[in-house]
Amino acid sequence: MSKELAKTYDPKGLEDRLYQKWLDKGYFHAKVNPDKKPFTIVMPPPNVTGQLHMGHALDNTMQDILIRFRRMQGYEALWQPGTDHAAIATEVKVTNMLKDQDIDKQEIGREEFLKHAWKWKEEYGSRIINQLYKLGASADWERERFTMDEGCSRAVEEVFVRLYEKGWIYKGSRIINWCPKCQTSLSDAEVEHEDQDGFFWHINYPIVGEEGKYVEIATTRPETLLGDTAVAVNPEDERYQGLIGKMLKLPLTDREIPVIADEYVDKEFGTGCVKITPAHDPNDFEVGRRHNLEEINILNDDATINEKGGKYSGMDRYVARKAMVADLEEQGLLVKVVPHTHAVGTHDRCHTTVEPMIKPQWFVRMKEMAQASIEILKTEDLNFVPERFDKIYLHWLENIKDWCISRQLWWGHRIPAWYCQECGEILVKKGGAPEKCPKCGCTSLRQDEDTLDTWFSSALWPFSTLGWPDQTPELDYFYPTSVLVTGYDIIFFWVIRMVFSGLEQTGRSPFKHVLIHGLVRDSQGRKMSKSLGNGIDPLEVIDQYGADALRLTLMTGNAPGNDMRFYWERVEASRNFANKVWNASRFIMMNLDAAEVPEDVNPESLTLADKWILHKVNTLAAEVTENMEKFELGIAVQKVYDFIWEEFCDWYIEMVKPRLYSETEDTKAAALWTLKTVLNHALKMLHPFMPFITEEIFCTLNPDEESIMIAPWPQYCSDWEFSQAAADVELMKEAVRGIRTVRSELNVPPSKKASVYVVSGNCEICRTFEHGRVFFATLAKASEVFIQADKSGIGDDAVSAMIPGANIYIPFAELVDLDKELERLTKEKERLAKEIARSNGMLGNERFISKAPAEKVQEEKNKLDKYTQMMKQVELRLEQLRK
C-alpha cells in the first residue's frame, strides 16, 4: 500500500477535502434508472434566513444516514434539497436592512422592495446550504430548488387555480389570527399558545329600563367590550330565563346590546354571562353568525383602537385597556379584578400577542381534503414512525378549520387573482394577468395585493421539486418519496399539508413513511433558545471535533420520536471512538504492508478466532440492516460502535497479535485477510453515520476502490455462519474475564504473568482451549497454559475462576508476593480501623447529631458503612493468606 494514514486523526483538513471529492465525482447525483429501485427523501427546506442549528443537524444527519445506506444497497437514492422563501422572516430581514440604510419600504414601493429581497436572497440565501456541506450532507445539489423558483411558482399557481375552480379556495370575511407587529394574517398552526399571568375583570352591564340592575360579565380583554354586540347566557340556565331578550347598556359607549341564549355558554364557568364580540373572538364569531349579530372591528392593523373607539381612538390596545378599566371603576361598573393565568396566542415568529380579527381573506376549504388524509392512514401508504404520532395527526385533522392562506406581505407568491375595477368581478388565472374582464369587457384590472402563506408552496414540495405539474420522468420514477424525516413539532405545520396536497393533486400519498425525531435539548433537558442563551452552534462542534463526532453524538441513544440531551462529554467520547478506529486501522495497515495478503483464503486455514469474528461481523450485518430498515438508527449505530470497539479492537486484534508477530506462524495470512475483510465490513456499516473517517480509511486500505460511498453494503453470508466457533470463543472470553477479575481483586500488575490451568472433564471444552491456546495465553497474561482433565499438579493455594464446564486455576504464589501482600493488607486494616473509630466517635457525639445538617450526618453514616464493608473484605483476605 503506497498511501498511508496520517499518524494522528485530524478531521479539519480531511473533511473539506473529501466532501469536495464527492462533489467533483458527482456521487450525490441521482438519475432515472429503470435498472434500479428508487429511494427518495425530500429535504425539509430550511429557511433562506436560516442558520444551521442543532435541530437542523439532527434532522439532516438522519436523512443523510438513510440516503447513504440505501445508496450502498444499490438503490438509485435521491435526496432532494432546497430552501424555503420564508415570507415573514425574510420580509422582516430585508425591511430591517433597508431601515439601516434609511430606506422606507413603503416609500420605495413593492417592485423596488422585491428587487432588494431577491438581492438579499442571492447573497445570504445559500448560507445554510453551505453549512450543510460541513455536516457531510450527500444531497443532490445539482437538483437544488427554491420555493419561489420558476417551477415551484408554476406549481403554486396551478394548485391555487385548480382548488379555486373546484370551489375549495374562496375569499370571505372570517375571523383570523392577526399579528399587529408583522401586520399579516396567520394560520392556526403559526400561533403558539403560552400561559401568561393576567386578570379577570368583572364588569357590570346595566339592564336598560331597570335602574340599579346589572348583568355581571368577566373578561380577560376589557378593551374588546367596545366591539360587543350581545351578552349570551345558556338557554337552560334558570338564573337568567327572565333576562333573555332584554337590552343592556354597553358601558363606555352609547350603544345598547341584547341578551341572547346560546348553548355555547358554559353555565358553570364564571358568572354564566358571556360578552359576545364577533369581530374579535373565534367562538363569538360563530355565535354572532348564528344570531345575525353585527360584527364591529374596533382595532387598526397595528392593534391601536380605531375610529369606532370614541375617546379611546388611537390608543394602543393595552393603553386603552388601562384607561377603560379606570373609567369603569370611576363609573362604579368595575365589580372586581381577579388574577388569572390563561393561554394566550402569540405569533411563533415574533412572539407578539395575536389579535383575533375579522378581515376579508383567502381560505382553503379543508373538509374533503382532511377526510382523504384521515383515510390514507388506514392503508399501508402512510406510516408514522413511531406509530404513536398517528394520534396527533388524526387529532389535528379531525379538528381542522378552513385554512387562511392570504398574507399581507410583498415577499412570496402573489395571489393569482385580479379584480375588475368596473364591475368588481374576481378573476383567478394562471400565467399572468387577464387581458380583460370576461363579464363586462373592462381592461382595468387590479391584482390582489396579498401573497400566499409560505406553507402553501412548501405543501407541494415533494412533487413540485420533481417537475409537477408536468409529468416528468423524475416525477414518474422518484414519486411518491420513500420517507420524510422531521421533528414532532412540525407535524401539523407541514406534514399534514403535504399529505392532503399530494393526495389531491397526484392521487397518492407524498411519502410512505414519516420518521419523527425529537428535539435536541441542553444537558439540563431545556429547549435550546436565544432567550436562555443555551444554544450550541453545530459549526463550532464541527470545527473543534469534526462532523463525524457530531453526527455520532446526535445518533448515540437516539430513538424515534424522543428528545435527546446534548452533552459535550458525549462529543469527546465520539471523538475518542474516531481515534480508536483510526489507530486500529493504522495498526492493521502497517501489518498488511509488511506481508503478502491473499485475495481470498481457504476456510480450512481460518482459526477459531478468525471464524468467531467473521461470524460476529456477519451477524452484525444482518442485524444492522434490519435496524436501519426499521429506522432504528440509534440501535444500529450502537451495535456497530460496540462491535468495533469491543469485539474487533479489544478482543480480535489482541487475539491475532501473536500470529502477526511470528514469522513461523502458518495462519498469519489468514489473520491478515480476516483483519482486512472485517475492517472493510465494519467501515461500510459505520459509513452512513461517520462518512468522512470511513472514506479516508477505506480508500487508503483499498487503493483500487473509488469511494466507500459507492461500495456495496455488507450482506449476510451463509459461508460465514460459524456458530460453534463463535460459542467456543465466547467460552474462552468468559475464562479470560474471570482471570482478569481475579487479578484485579489481587491488585496484580498487568505485566505480571502466571501459569494458567484449564481443568475440565469435557473433551470438547479441552479441544476448544487447545485450538485457541495461542490467543488465550496472550489475553489471560499466561506464562504457560495447561489443559487437563483433573486438578493434579495444582497446589492448594491456587486461586480459581469458574466457567460453564470448566474451572480455571492460577497458582497464588505466581501472582502475589505473599509477604508484601500481608504487609500491605495489615497497613490497610490499621487505616480502616482509624477511620471506623473516627466515624463512630462523630456519630456517638450528641452535639454533632443534633446540630449538624441531616445530609452531613447521613454522609458520615455512609462512610461508616463503607469502611465496615472494606474492613470485612481485608480481614477475610488476611485470613485466606495466613492459611
Which three three-digit cell numbers place residue 714? 455488507
Q: Half-sphere exposure of residue 4, counting CA atoms within 13 Å on the CB side?
A: 11
Report which DSSP code applies to 25.
H
The three-state secondary structure class of 29 is coil
Say if residues 170 and 366 touch (Cβ distance below 8 Å): no
Cell (9 digits) for 741: 477479575
Distance between CA atoms of residues 673 and 150, nearest Å: 55
**What is the residue whose three cell numbers read 394562471?**
430
Look at residues 561, 455, 469, 467 and name the one whose alpha carbon lies nearest to residue 498. 455
Residue 530 in marked binding region: yes
Neighbouring C-beta atoms of residue 193, cutoff 10 Å:
11
Q: Three-class SS of residue 361?
A: strand
Omega of the bond leading into 469 within 30 degrees of 0 (cis): yes
- 3-state SS assignment for residue 785: strand
Q: What is the DSSP string of 150-164?
A: HHHHHHHHHHHHHHH
Q: What is the DSSP string of 127-138?
A: HHHHHHHHHT--
Q: Give me 485's grid cell.
A: 424525516
How far is residue 700's CA from residue 12's CA, in Å, rounded to a whole number? Answer: 18
Q: What whole-number distance in Å separates Cα of residue 472 and Cα of residue 478?
A: 10
Q: How far apart are the first and last CA of the chain?
A: 60
Cell of 435: 387581458
Going by C-alpha positions, the residue among 635, 447, 450, 449 that lies closest to residue 555 is 635
Quote the CA–CA distance of 291 and 356 in Å, as a whole number: 20
Report DSSP letters for 754-768, one per residue: EEEEEE-S-HHHHHH
- Cell, residue 867: 469502611
Spell out a b/e string for 818-846, using b for 16 or more CB atoms within 10 Å of the CB, else e: eeebeeebeebeeebeebbeebeebeeee
| Cell (9 digits) for 169 | 379556495
Buried b (16+ CB within 10 A) or exposed e, 365-391: ebeebbebbbebbeeebbbbbeeebee
Could you give the C-alpha distances from 729 to 197, 587, 725, 775, 785, in angstroms and in order?
Answer: 66, 23, 6, 10, 16
φ/ψ of residue 735, rounded to 5: -65, -45
CA–CA distance, 511 with 498 (Å, rounded to integer): 9
HSE value, Cβ hemisphere, 13 Å, CA-based, for 676: 23
Q: Could you tell me how far CA 189 lies from the centroid of its own chain? A: 19
Q: 836 with 867: CB under 8 angstroms?
A: yes
Distance CA(708)–CA(136), nearest Å, equals 14
Query: How many angstroms separate the Cα of 131 from the Cα of each of 50, 117, 137, 181?
Result: 10, 22, 9, 31
| Known binding positions | 530
| Known binding positions for ATP | 530
